[in-house]
Copies of this chain bind each other. A is one copy, B any other.
Amino acid sequence: MKTLELNFKEKKIPLFLGAGLVFSTLFIEELKKYKAAKIALITDETVFRLFGEKLLAFLKAGGLEAALFSFPEGEQAKTRETKSLLEDQLLAQGFLKDSLFIGLGGGVALDLCAFLAATYCRGVRLVLVPTTLLAMADAAIGGKSAVNTPFGKNLIGAFYQPESIWVDHNFLAELPEKELLNGMAEMLKMALLFDRAFFEELKKRPPVALDLIEKAIRLKQQVVEADEKEAAGRLVLNFGHTIGHSLEKLENFRLGHGTAIALGQIMESRLSMQLGFLKKTDFFEIFSVFKKSHFPLVFSQGISPALLKEALLFDKKASRGPRFILLKEIGKAVPHSLSIEIPEAVLKETLVWGSRRFASKTDLPIYETTQTKGQPTLHL
């Protein structure tokens, strides 16, 4: 077991990294230190079935007063409505300011849990337990929390730091392929932005290795410690996300986040090349790594370049026209690239290229959705 420390102005956050951490007496003992009146374990239905029910029993057996609240899985449930329903359930159960919330799950679940904690009684203490590669290597680090709206992803949210983060490798044992790709896409992003050597490692080894997860965490840590509230420095992490978020939104979130930002990274790398920043050889290497990693690089045929361009305007960075994090080389971003105005013709050319390459030729839905709708459920 290893402990990293994330250093923010307001507090230092311990991050525990290892295998078998959460179902251990260490976890119970750490939780007891918070002296919370009550613990709310909060997760989505899928994670509830996989680990949540067991974890609730484990906490209770450890002598903690806990209840579990589960909500429907997926981006479509990450809404203000789900948050309100959870709030009402928590209030009805008498959870107050001196509660502790444990967010358990992937990126979507942690985003929602953290936002819920951020505004519940103006903020209750929060512990994050990521269960997916994406959540461990990325989403749990940095204090971002949010929900989606019909106008776009993550438009309503807050910056809110947990008390501790528990990266337990055991949760990854049965992670589905799609979830691995979600994590891989964010790890490749960190490598492309900051660290060519890490990029080379990710070409050679499966990303679930604990040292690779740790590397991704440390890279992200540097960025978020330097810019806690997304003043400007942190926006570099949006590489691949400007186009990626727009694709997700146009697909009504049926497209996997990993696939969306893989497509986004490829297209934004190409844009970097077309603007004269990125070498051709680097671009082709980037494109080839995403292909070899088995991302299903395809989106619905209905998403025209014009539709995509329009969607880009709802990006939070776009109020003076669409802006992008651009690459200078593998492992390095273009400094201040958000101040670069993108000539319309160049943007259009890349969107047309992306559409020709990746838009499906068939009418059929090209991926399945496991998302459900419905009310949150309380498990006592």
Q: Which residues of A are at the interface with B, using a C-beta cutoff of 8 A?
A: 9, 37-38, 80, 84, 87-88, 91-92, 94, 96-99, 115, 118-123, 144-146, 149-152, 154-159, 229-230, 313-314, 316-320
The answer to whether B122 and A317 have CB atoms under 8 Å apart is: no
The answer to whether A157 and B96 have CB atoms under 8 Å apart is: no
The answer to whether B155 and A319 have CB atoms under 8 Å apart is: no
The answer to whether B316 and A121 have CB atoms under 8 Å apart is: yes
Distance, CA A123 to CA B146, complexed state (A) = 11
Q: A80-B80, A158-B158 are in contact. Are A122 and B144 (CB under 8 A)?
A: yes
Q: A96-B318, A97-B316, A318-B96 are in contact. Are A122 and B91 (CB under 8 A)?
A: no
Distance to closest chain B CB from A228 (angstroms): 10
Copy total for this chain: 2
| Chain B hits for A37, CB < 8 A | 319-320
Distance to closest chain B CB from A173 (angstroms): 34
| Chain B hits for A145, CB < 8 A | 122
| Chain B hits for A314, CB < 8 A | 91
Q: Which of B92, B159, B229, B319 contacts A96 (CB 8 A)?
A: B319
| Chain B hits for A313, CB < 8 A | 94
| Chain B hits for A96, CB < 8 A | 316-319
The answer to whether A158 and B98 have CB atoms under 8 Å apart is: no
| Chain B hits for A91, CB < 8 A | 149, 151-152, 155, 314
Complex: chain B residue closest to A92, CB-CB: B151
The answer to whether A84 and B92 have CB atoms under 8 Å apart is: no
| Chain B hits for A156, CB < 8 A | 87, 119-121
The answer to whether B319 and A97 have CB atoms under 8 Å apart is: yes
Distance, CA A210 to CA B80, complexed state (A) = 41
The answer to whether B94 and A319 have CB atoms under 8 Å apart is: yes
* Between-chain CB contacts (< 8 Å), 10 pairs: A9-B9, A88-B150, A91-B155, A91-B314, A94-B313, A96-B316, A99-B319, A118-B158, A119-B158, A122-B229
Q: A92-B151, A96-B316 are in contact. Are A119 and B87 (CB under 8 A)?
A: no
| Chain B hits for A119, CB < 8 A | 115, 119, 156-158
Pairs A-B, 10 closest by C-beta atoms: A91-B151, A96-B319, A37-B319, A122-B157, A97-B316, A80-B84, A119-B156, A121-B316, A98-B319, A119-B158
| Chain B hits for A155, CB < 8 A | 87, 91, 120-121
Distance, CA A37 to CA B145, complexed state (A) = 24
Complex: chain B residue closest to A230, CB-CB: B122
| Chain B hits for A84, CB < 8 A | 80
The answer to whether B122 and A159 have CB atoms under 8 Å apart is: yes
Distance, CA A169 to CA B68, complexed state (A) = 51
Knowing that A87-B156, A122-B229, A158-B158 touch, tell me 10 more A-B residue pairs with CB under 8 angstroms. Answer: A37-B319, A91-B149, A96-B317, A96-B318, A97-B317, A119-B158, A122-B146, A122-B154, A122-B158, A123-B158
| Chain B hits for A97, CB < 8 A | 316-317, 319
Complex: chain B residue closest to A37, CB-CB: B319
Complex: chain B residue closest to A10, CB-CB: B9
Distance, CA A155 to CA B98, complexed state (A) = 13
Distance, CA A317 to CA B121, complexed state (A) = 10
